[in-house]
Amino acid sequence: MKFKNGITEKSIIVKSGADMMLPFSVVFGIYIILFGTVSPGGGFQGGVMVAAAALLLYLGHGYGTAKSAINTEVLRVGEALGATLYVILGLCGIFLGANFCRNIFFDNGAVGDLISAGTITFMGYSVGFKVLTGVSFLLMLMMSLLAPDTDEDEEEEEDEE
């Protein structure tokens, strides 16, 4: 069944399954990123789990909904921001008189706290943000190839030409 704007009606089972799993994947992925220094997991794993939400949105509701819900420009900028943040945190060591990636202020907080272990925590957050935005940007790119062409895209192209 097909509606306007390229939105396709999926099977009710796929749709409800995606709807059920989407909040869990987002919340659990963010939890894994935030508690990377304390419990198993870390930036890479949690970022990919959050990025899977884009795929679930596509599976359940089609490319039109995913495109309207996710701003790809923000994702593209966010990936570069995360990479820059990681380099800046690594350079903290050089600014404070040690070598690159040295953990300078590692004695903040107690062992097992959320904010402890100095730059390790914040490096984990920056890598998580980078992977989250980068992988979901990649998934959106791949979805745009799979999706049928919508009318809006063609109009935009004509304007460009």
Partner 1 sequence: MKAKKIVAVVSLAVILAFGIYAVVFASTLPRTYEGKTNVVDLLNDQTNYDVSNPGGVADVIVSENLEKTMAANNVAAVVFDFRGYDTLGESFILLTAIAGSFVILSKAKKHKKEDDK
Residue 141 CA to residue 135 CA, distance in Å, equals: 10
Rg (CA), the chain: 20
Q: What helix, strand, coil percent values describe the chain, rounded to 5?
A: 70, 0, 25
The yes or no reply on residue 155 touching partner 1 (CB under 8 A) is no
- Taking the complex as a whole, the smallest distance from the CB of residue 14 to partner 1 amounts, in Å, to 25
Q: Hey, what are 113's tokens?
A: 């706290």
- Taking the complex as a whole, the smallest distance from the CB of residue 157 to partner 1 amounts, in Å, to 7
Amino acid at 120: I
The yes or no reply on residue 127 touching partner 1 (CB under 8 A) is yes
What is the contact surface with partner 1 in residues (CB under 8 A)?
36-40, 42, 44, 76, 79-80, 82-83, 86-87, 90, 100-101, 103, 106-107, 109, 111-112, 116-120, 123-124, 127, 130-131, 134-135, 137-138, 141-142, 144-145, 149, 154, 157
